[in-house]
Amino acid sequence: MAGKLPAVKLLFIGDIVGRPGRQAVSALVPKLRARHGLDMVVANGENAAGGSGLTGPTAAELLAAGVDVLTTGDHVWDQKEVVELLGREPRVLRPLNYPAGVPGRGSGVFSVRPGLDVAVLNAQGRTFMPPLDNPFLVVPAEVDHLRQQTPLIVVDFHAEATSEKIALARLLDGRVSALIGTHTHVQTADEQILPAGTAFLCDAGFTGPHDSVLGREVEPIVQRFLTNTPQQFDVARGRVLLQGALVELDESSGRARAITRISEPLP
């Protein structure tokens, strides 16, 4: 009996929050690479710099730790220096559906080993989010372009509404290898392979301190809800987890074979 065709093994890491999240990536990604024989690591880094935005040094730290591609979302512009970063670092993406002329790019094709390329596409939702171009129109056109280069396409859909994430995944089923949601910082339990072969997870969760409110210290956020007065939302520290998903893809067709949620504690 013939063995399976070669597989591509990929780790997708949910939103990295502040220094604790970066520490988790630095400590755990090399171990996860070795344990699972990973070919590629994609991580959402839009909250990596002090809990809000991304800078050159924080991006360099994450890339040096073993992340191959960094995606972002609605906090991409929180640090002014990100404009320069997006202009010089092709491994850092911003949402595709910004208007033409905005710095950076929303997708890229990356070599994971000789003769094998994987495309990564970053898009942002519009429901309860800042108004951008319609991802349901912009993303499929870009997917068609990327498929001319590789059948292996991974989408980070940075969106609030579960319905919007599920709907885009259904629209792209069979046309992309995986669509994984980010933004809510709450890992969902709906990992699945859709009928035409696309791996899907509504939200990858977040990488950072989980004794918190979505990565921030608890008390100031409670006070904000109690008093509706301004508070300083510092990054929390306790119970640091690296969350995301492991995805196995068929190398020739690009279809997903498996998707598994992970929630790995930082010792």
Residue 121 CA to residue 151 CA, distance in Å, equals: 13
Distances (CA, A) of 113 to 96, 98, 99, 199, 235: 25, 31, 33, 22, 37
Tokens 């730290």 belong to residue: 61
Judge contact between 209 and 17, C-beta under 8 A.
Answer: yes
Distances (CA, A) of 230 to 49, 50, 72, 211, 220: 21, 18, 26, 22, 9
Helices (H), the chain: 18-36, 56-64, 82-88, 135-147, 162-172, 218-227
Q: What is the 3-state secondary structure (H, E, C) of 58-78?
A: HHHHHHHCCCCEEECCCCCCC
Q: What is the 3-state secondary structure (H, E, C) of 207-219?
A: EEECCCECCECHH
List the catalytic residues.
75
Long-range contacts of 107-112 (CB under 8 A, 24+ apart): 107/142, 107/146, 108/69, 109/146, 109/149, 109/150, 110/40, 110/68, 110/69, 112/8, 112/39, 112/40, 112/68
- What radius of gyration do the chain's Cα atoms show? 18
Residue 74 CA to residue 106 CA, distance in Å, equals: 13
